[in-house]
Amino acid sequence: MEKRMANVEKDMATNMGAVVIMETHMKNMGNRMANVERNTTDMDGKLEAVNNEVRKLKTAFVDGFDEMKNVLVKMDKTEENPRKVKNTASGDKENIIVAGGQRTNSVEMFNWRQRTWSPLQLLPEKRFGAISFVYNNYLTIAGGYSCWSTEIFDDNLLIVGGRTTTSCSNSLSSVVLYDVRKNECQQSLAPLPYEISEMATVRWGDNIVVIGGRDKRRKALDTDIICNDNTEQSYFLTAMRCKRWKCAAVVIENNIVVLGGENEQGARKSVEAFNFERYAWLELSEMSQARDWHTAVVV
């Protein structure tokens, strides 16, 4: 019995040692769990801070976009000049008419809602590099061939880039303002970031957007520059899906639509749109035929 009792006491001592070791492990585990909880709390705080910053950025972007849309619809406050051009969005207009281009007198129309193209009556003669506008339900197409682009701002024409000869090496980066009433030109905004010609332009609020084109080394561009008439500052939009020059562009709803043009493979059928809400370029249905130096309007 004494031997057995001695063995029992020995086993109990061994078990007590194991209990002490287990308690130590449990204590260490508790410390680790406390550290994990503290780290988790820190991570939650950091994550919440990041989420707050993201929410602030989203709010700032939405506010900036709303402000841009507000300046797009600019009403005249005086009637002293009946020729004053109002700055309006496309409103309920949902069709884009594309006409002419090099080697063609065809006309076709793109329905923005249905995303479909349909042919229209041919032009009486082929013409390219023309301008077009809609007045009193009439689409007028005039002139032809030009290497610079213009957009009208109230009583002023803003003339962007272009070149002094037929060579791209003589392209310009200057922006000139022509005052229709005074019949005079003057240097307007700060120069563009580079010399450019054979591009498309559209007006977006108090901004002129310069799309594609070629630089003075004849390099095709996929860039898009927004130049503000008031702040005299410019910045780049996201690059287009493809490089193109001699293209046409229009504004419809919250989109800038770029149609056709030319690249190293020749004239293009492709159409893409920059959506300001998504801040990205989206591919649209192609035209029925490739076009360059064509004209386009929204009706």
- The overall average pLDDT reported for the chain is 81
User: What is each CA distance from 34 to 9, 38, 41, in whole angstroms?
Assistant: 37, 6, 11
**Cβ density class 180-204: b for 16+ within 10 Å, e for less:** eeeeeeeebbeebebbbbbbbbbbb
Task: Give the C-alpha separation, 167 to 15, whole Å.
Answer: 96
pTM for this structure? 0.67
Q: Residue 85's pLDDT band (boundaries 50, 70, 90)?
A: very low
Phi, psi of 135 (to 5 degrees): -145, 125
The residue ranking higher by pLDDT, 106 or 126, is 106
Judge whether residue 78 has pLDDT over 50.
no
Give me the mean pLDDT over the 139-157 stretch: 77
Q: Residue 27's pLDDT band (boundaries 50, 70, 90)?
A: confident
Look at residue 132 in the predicted model and tell me its pLDDT.
87
| CA-based torsion, 129, 133, 137, 138: positive or negative | negative
- For 112-136, the pLDDT digits (tens) are 999 999 999 999 888 888 888 888 8
Coil, strand or helix: which one is 46? helix
Judge whether residue 257 has pLDDT over 80.
yes
Q: Residue 183's pLDDT band (boundaries 50, 70, 90)?
A: confident
The residue ranking higher by pLDDT, 193 or 82, is 193
Write the CB contacts of 40 (distance below 8 Å, at least 6 apart in sequence).
none
Judge whether residue 100 has pLDDT over 90.
yes
Give me the mean pLDDT over the 189-212 stretch: 91
Judge whether residue 138 has pLDDT over 70.
yes
User: Token pair for residue 84?
Assistant: 């004053």
Judge whether residue 18 has pLDDT over 90.
no
Write the CB contacts of 55 (distance below 8 Å, at least 6 apart in sequence).
none
Judge whether residue 235 has pLDDT over 50.
yes
Judge whether residue 166 has pLDDT over 70.
yes
Phi, psi of 226 (to 5 degrees): -105, 125
The residue ranking higher by pLDDT, 20 or 210, is 210
User: What is each CA distance from 42 to 28, 34, 38, in whole angstroms?
Assistant: 21, 12, 6
Beta bridge partners of 176: 159, 187
Write the CB contacts of 254 (distance below 8 Å, at least 6 apart in sequence).
69, 275, 276, 277
Half-sphere exposure of 9 (CA within 13 A, CB side): 6
Q: Lowest-confidence range among 47-56, 62-71, 149-158, 164-173?
A: 62-71
Q: Lowest-confidence range among 1-10, 17-26, 236-245, 273-282?
A: 17-26
Give me the mean pLDDT over the 191-197 stretch: 92
Is residue 153 packed enough to be buried (19+ CB in 10 Å), middle (13-18) or exposed (0-12)? Answer: middle
Judge whether residue 92 has pLDDT over 90.
no
Q: Lowest-confidence range among 72-81, 241-250, 258-267?
A: 72-81
Q: Residue 232's pLDDT band (boundaries 50, 70, 90)?
A: confident
Give me the mean pLDDT over the 244-260 stretch: 95
Give the DSSP H/E element, type plus range, for residue 135: strand 131-135
The residue ranking higher by pLDDT, 151 or 269, is 269
User: Token pair for residue 93?
Assistant: 């207009």
